[in-house]
């Protein structure tokens, strides 16, 4: 059975993870198990940038995940970066097991707007499906409604759907 | 996403190479990374690169030097310079030295995606521009139609001589397409973006020709109210095509020789020597060597012009090209006349193949145009051609000249909807003559419609 390990990275609201698990189960048809303890990302903190190095966290996550689990998806409240970019919403290993998403810039509050829990849950689901898509070997897609369309700004996440377009579904079948 | 675009990332920092490489790979690009300028130059020939992202600060050769080297190898690669800190100075330097853009680390993902997408679009437009220009040049250059051996030889000569600055002498009968050969040479030469100026030497008197060629100063002769530039000046940087070169006077031949030798002119009535830059192509339907012997053409000018000779064959020596030419003219005039002509019938083609074409391609073109005026769509028939085309050694017995004239006039009248002015024009007779013929043969529009 395909089991997706959902791992809180640092402190993350359980209810948020439960909603996400439900969404992933219905959209991707996978069972999710939420890790009880979580993963401490302290080692990946960069005090100069005030952000966490996403690639380092991803490596640690994959290392600590049992070999038999199908995929691991870390979810964090921290702001993530890779050295060359100012930030990332998430990161994934292409055609491998690990993916990571951050709630930090998905929150309306980050942009000075009132909190919107429903919108946040939607964004988290779309970003999670997007990063998991990379672990399944998918690259970015030109169809702006597809979950695999590039989203370098939160507005683009809101436009797209929590689903893969037929071309990406086809590409996945080949992979 | 443009999955085919290829990006070369050059940075000495592993973390930059890895994270950028992975990021672009997810974006759907083909990516390779190089650890130094030397490594980048080593990878450059391995494949076609669309874009290079180059770090400005690297040990050994820096990004700006590498940019220069890359452009020496392939000037089309788009280079985006990455800087550790944004400084106006480095940005200006990078752009001055030919970088497309520069971007400061760390990049905002949206900015990076935007800069790269914009750069690749720019490259695509540039490539498309080059391709369209090439197509246009080829389309212009292949106005000469023909797959026969003699024509292939002409095309080969054009391609050989076009890129040089050599003077060309084109010889061929009237109507063979000498001007098209000249245009082909110009269009395939490095001077193609400059003007091609044609001078029909035979059409002008000596004084007028002189003033046409060299220009004149104000008051140089009666009627010269303004200063005028000559064709050699107008053609600056381009090509001068001297058509019917055999028809110029000995005096003008002397002046022309001087221009060809010295590449400078003096306007009629002026003293100032003006340097001119042009390539000369001349054409004649006469045997210049014969005229040299007769003493009507200067030998030195002949040798100056006849550096590279091209002989354009008469149509009767390349009859196999007739179907291609006919097809071309039918399409040309169908468009111009908005008619639905598609081809000509087999017997009509036989008529054209058996004719000797003293007027060459020009005569053929006129015949097709005329046939499309009087013929019925969609196919040209033998009857649509002038009678001399179909003249046979054994004419049909019992057909009188009057019969032929009667039938032909009736056909033309019908094709022109009984518009007598148009019909007279097609028949090349005046309207009164046509009126008299209609009366003589008793033609009536109603009669025609009833029949």
CATH code: domain of residue B336 = 1.10.8.60
A90 phi and psi angles, rounded to 5 deg: -175, 175
Helix (H/G/I), strand (E/B), else coil: B280: strand
Opening angle at CA B234, ends B233 and B238, nearest 5: 95
Task: Tell me the CB-side half-sphere exposure of residue A37, using CA atoms within 13 A.
Answer: 6
Please check whether residues B176 and B47 belong to one and the same domain: no
Report which DSSP code applies to B107.
B
Helix (H/G/I), strand (E/B), else coil: B172: strand
Token pair belonging to B30: 């083909």
**Packing angle, helices B206-214 and B250-262, rounded to 10:** 10
- Chain B positions touching A134 (Cβ under 8 A) are 26
Please check whether residues B226 and B375 belong to one and the same domain: no
pLDDT (0 to 100) of residue B451: 34
Of the candidates A83, A139, A153, the beta carbon closest to that of B19 is on A83
pLDDT (0 to 100) of residue B148: 86
Please check whether residues B55 and B109 belong to one and the same domain: yes
- Chain B positions touching A82 (Cβ under 8 A) are 19, 23
- Give the C-alpha separation, B286 to B290, whole Å: 8
What is this structure's pTM?
0.53
Those residues of chain A that have pLDDT short of 70 are: 1, 173-175
Total number of residues shown for chain B: 451
Of the candidates A83, A139, A152, the beta carbon closest to that of B110 is on A152
Parallel, antiparallel, or unpaired: how do β-strands A31-34 and A45-46 relate?
Answer: unpaired
DSSP element (H, E) containing B53: strand B51-55
Please check whether residues B154 and B298 belong to one and the same domain: yes
Q: Do residue B109 and residue A86 have CB atoms under 8 angstroms apart?
A: yes
In a domain, residue B267? The reply is yes
- Give the C-alpha separation, B308 to B199, whole Å: 20
- Chain A positions touching B9 (Cβ under 8 A) are none
Say if CB A91 and CB B18 are below 8 A apart. no
pLDDT (0 to 100) of residue A174: 61
Please enumerate residues of B whose Cβ is less than 8 A from a Cβ of A.
1, 3, 13, 15-16, 18-20, 22-23, 25-28, 105-110, 112-113
Say if CB A152 and CB B117 are below 8 A apart. no
- Give the C-alpha separation, A29 to B35, whole Å: 43
Say if CB B315 and CB B176 are below 8 A apart. yes
Token pair belonging to B171: 């010889």
Say if CB A29 and CB A133 are below 8 A apart. no
Say if CB A112 and CB A102 are below 8 A apart. no
- Chain B positions touching A130 (Cβ under 8 A) are none
Does the beta carbon of A15 lie under 8 angstroms from any beta carbon of chain B? Answer: no
Opening angle at CA B213, ends B207 and B218, nearest 5: 65
**B102: number of Cβ within 10 Å:** 22
Q: What would the DSSP string read from start to end of B410-438? A: HHHHHHTTT-HHHHHHHHTS-HHHHHHHH
Please check whether residues B28 and B123 belong to one and the same domain: yes
pLDDT (0 to 100) of residue B450: 35
**Residues contacting B228, CB < 8 A, separation 6+:** B211, B215, B216, B267
Of the candidates A55, A83, A139, the beta carbon closest to that of B28 is on A139
Nearest CA in chain A to B105: A84
pLDDT (0 to 100) of residue B47: 82
Nearest CA in chain A to B26: A139
Please check whether residues B304 and B176 belong to one and the same domain: yes
* ipTM exceeds 0.85, yes or no: no
Q: Do residue B28 and residue A82 have CB atoms under 8 angstroms apart?
A: no
Q: Do residue B107 and residue A134 have CB atoms under 8 angstroms apart?
A: no
The number of distinct structural domains making up chain B is 4
The catalytic residues of A are 131
In the A/B pair of chains, how many CB contacts fall below 8 A?
58
- Give the C-alpha separation, A144 to B64, whole Å: 37
Token pair belonging to B71: 């452009």
pLDDT (0 to 100) of residue B403: 79
Nearest CA in chain B to A136: B26
Report which DSSP code applies to B451.
-
Place of tokens 């091209």: B310
**B258: number of Cβ within 10 Å:** 15
Region at A59 (left for phi over 0; alpha for psi -120 to 50; beta for the rest): alpha
- Give the C-alpha separation, B433 to B308, whole Å: 51
Of the candidates B3, B16, B109, the beta carbon closest to that of A83 is on B16
CA B275 distance to own-chain centroid: 27
Does the beta carbon of A169 lie under 8 angstroms from any beta carbon of chain B? Answer: no
Q: Which of B133, B166, B181 is the last residue of a domain?
A: B133
Among 3.40.50.300, 3.40.390.10, 3.80.30.20, 3.30.413.10, name the CATH number for the domain at A3-140.
Answer: 3.40.390.10
Region at B399 (left for phi over 0; alpha for psi -120 to 50; beta for the rest): beta
Please check whether residues B36 and B152 belong to one and the same domain: no
Of the candidates A86, A140, A153, the beta carbon closest to that of B27 is on A140
Of the candidates A55, A134, A153, the beta carbon closest to that of B110 is on A153
- Chain A positions touching B3 (Cβ under 8 A) are 139
CATH assignment of the domain containing B404? 1.10.10.60
Those residues of chain B that have pLDDT short of 50 are: 1-3, 393, 447-451
Please check whether residues B116 and B167 belong to one and the same domain: no
In a domain, residue B98? The reply is yes
Q: Cα–Cα distances in Å, from A138 out to A102, A148, B9, B113?
A: 20, 7, 22, 18
CATH assignment of the domain containing B263? 3.40.50.300
In a domain, residue B318? The reply is no
Please check whether residues B225 and B293 belong to one and the same domain: yes
- Chain A positions touching B26 (Cβ under 8 A) are 92, 94, 134, 139-140
pLDDT (0 to 100) of residue A18: 96
Strand runs labelled E in B112-238 = 168-172, 196-200, 215-216, 228-229
Paired residues of B34 in beta bridges: B10
- Chain B positions touching A86 (Cβ under 8 A) are 106-109
Token pair belonging to B47: 């494949």
In a domain, residue B290? The reply is yes
Shortest distance between the Cα of B88 and any Cα of chain A, in A, equals 20
- Give the C-alpha separation, B409 to B434, whole Å: 8
Domain that includes residue B363, residue range: 324-388
Most A CBs within 10 Å, among B14, B53, B109, B115, to test the A interface: B109
Q: Do residue A85 and residue B113 have CB atoms under 8 angstroms apart?
A: no
In a domain, residue B287? The reply is yes
pLDDT (0 to 100) of residue B392: 55
């Amino acid at each position: 059975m395909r089991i997706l390990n959902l791992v809180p990275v640092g402190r993350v609201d359980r209810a948020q993870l439960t909603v996400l698990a439900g969404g992933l189960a219905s959209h991707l048809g996978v069972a999710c198990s939420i890790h009880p303890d979580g993963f401490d990302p302290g080692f990946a903190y960069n005090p100069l940038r005030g952000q966490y190095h996403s690639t380092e966290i991803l490596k640690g996550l994959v290392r600590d995940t049992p070999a038999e689990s199908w995929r691991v998806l870390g979810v964090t409240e921290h702001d993530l970066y890779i050295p060359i970019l100012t930030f990332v919403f998430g990161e994934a290993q292409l055609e491998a097991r690990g993916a990571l998403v951050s709630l930090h810039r998905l929150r309306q509050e980050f942009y000075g707007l009132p909190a919107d829990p429903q919108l946040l849950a939607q964004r988290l689901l779309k970003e999670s499906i997007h990063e998991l898509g990379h672990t399944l070997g998918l690259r970015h897609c030109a169809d702006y409604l597809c979950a695999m369309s590039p989203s370098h700004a939160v507005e683009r996440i809101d436009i797209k759907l929590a689903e893969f377009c037929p071309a990406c579904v086809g590409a996945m079948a080949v992979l | 996403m443009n999955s085919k675009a290829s990006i070369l990332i050059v940075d000495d920092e592993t973390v930059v190479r890895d994270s950028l490489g992975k990021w672009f790979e997810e974006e759907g690009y083909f990516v390779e990374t190089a650890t130094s300028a030397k490594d980048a130059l080593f990878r450059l020939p391995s494949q076609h690169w669309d874009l290079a992202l180059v770090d400005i600060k690297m040990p050994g050769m820096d990004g700006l030097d590498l940019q220069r080297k890359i452009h020496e190898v392939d000037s089309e690669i788009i280079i985006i310079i990455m800087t550790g800190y944004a400084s106006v100075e480095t940005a200006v330097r990078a752009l001055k030295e030919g970088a497309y853009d520069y971007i400061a680390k760390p990049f905002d993902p949206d900015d990076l995606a935007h800069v790269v997408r914009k750069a690749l679009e720019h490259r695509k437009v540039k490539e498309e521009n080059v391709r369209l220009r090439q197509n246009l040049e080829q389309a212009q250059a292949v106005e000469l139609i023909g797959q026969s051996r003699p024509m292939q030889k002409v095309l080969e000569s054009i391609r050989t001589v076009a890129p040089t600055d050599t003077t060309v002498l084109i010889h061929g009968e009237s109507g063979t397409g000498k001007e098209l050969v000249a245009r082909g040479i110009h269009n395939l030469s490095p001077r193609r973006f400059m003007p091609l100026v044609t001078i029909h030497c035979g059409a002008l008197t000596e004084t007028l020709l002189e003033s046409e060629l060299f220009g004149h100063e104000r008051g140089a002769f009666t009627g010269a109210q303004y200063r005028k530039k000559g064709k050699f000046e107008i053609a600056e940087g381009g090509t001068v095509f001297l058509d019917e070169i055999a028809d110029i006077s000995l005096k003008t031949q002397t002046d022309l020789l001087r221009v060809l030798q010295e590449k400078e002119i003096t306007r009629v009535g002026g003293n100032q020597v003006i340097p001119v830059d042009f390539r000369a192509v001349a054409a004649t339907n006469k045997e210049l060597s014969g005229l040299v012997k007769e003493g009507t053409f200067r030998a030195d000018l002949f040798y100056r012009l006849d550096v590279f000779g091209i002989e354009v064959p008469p149509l009767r020596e390349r009859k196999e090209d007739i179907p291609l030419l006919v097809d071309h003219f039918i399409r040309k005039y169908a468009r111009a006349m908005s008619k639905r002509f598609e081809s000509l019938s087999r017997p009509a083609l036989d008529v054209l193949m058996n004719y000797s074409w003293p007027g060459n391609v020009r005569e053929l073109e006129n015949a097709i145009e005329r046939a499309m005026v009087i013929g019925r769509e969609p196919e040209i028939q033998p009857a649509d051609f002038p009678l001399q085309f179909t003249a046979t050694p054994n004419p049909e017995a019992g057909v009188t000249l009057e019969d032929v004239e009667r039938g032909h006039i009736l056909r033309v009248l019908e094709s022109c909807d009984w518009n007598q002015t148009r019909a007279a024009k097609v028949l090349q007779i005046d309207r009164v003559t046509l009126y008299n013929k209609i009366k003589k043969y008793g033609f009536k529009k109603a009669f025609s419609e009833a029949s």
